[in-house]
Structure 1
Amino acid sequence: MSYKQAAHILPPELLREVQAYIDGECIYIPRLAGRRRGWGEATATRGELKLRNERIFADYLRGAPLEALAERYYLTAKSIQRIIRGERAGQDR
């Protein structure tokens, strides 16, 4: 999300109307409901985390201890447990 100059985008009469409510302040205008993107859709983050979680689960199935996985992936043991639970649930589907 980036800032845009309202004076460059909005018609002058609409800009004056907005200024009547919020003069000189920053305002966030949300996207229309139909245009919203899900978390991670704008970047490759979602795919990277999915791949990381699959690797963690595969390492776990090969016998890697939770603490070793936590250290290797820079996560807490609790996070590793949550990922393993999630991956197990995904296999059951």
Structure 2
Amino acid sequence: MRELQNYVQGQTIYIPKRKEEYNAWGSKSGGREALKRRNTSILEAFTGGESIASISNRYYLSIETIKKIVYGKR
């Protein structure tokens, strides 16, 4: 403790977690899995013949976002 006080007296310091303790985005809340399911549904609707505009309205997403999902990397 005294050694730290030699360098940062009365200041706030940040000590990050070790890399092995980090969680991937959405892994705890389930957000990543929910987006994956949504995007799969969007892709299935598109391959089933539904228009991009219709999918955009149904999911409340922009047409550009739908295009990224259906034409993006698979």
Same fold (TM over 0.5): yes
TM-score by length of 2: 0.79
Residue aligning to 1:20: 9
**Does residue 1:36 correspond to 2:25, yes or no?**
no
- Give how far 1:34 is off: 1.4
- Give how far 1:63 is off: 1.1
TM-score by length of 1: 0.65
Matches of 2:33 and 2:24, distance apart in 1: 13
Post-superposition CA distance 1:42-88 (Å, at most 9, x none): 111011000000000000011111111111001100000011123xx
- Give how far 1:21 is off: 5.5
Q: Which runs of 5+ in 1 are unaligned?
A: 1-12
Aligned residues: 72
Matches of 1:58 and 1:28, distance apart in 2: 45
CA RMSD of aligned residues (A): 2.2
If each structure's helix is expressed as a fraction of its own residues, which one has the higher value? 1
Matches of 1:28 and 1:71, distance apart in 2: 44
Identity %: 28
SS state of the match for residue 50, structure 1? helix
Structure 1 segments, 4+ long, off by >2 Å, are: 16-19, 27-30
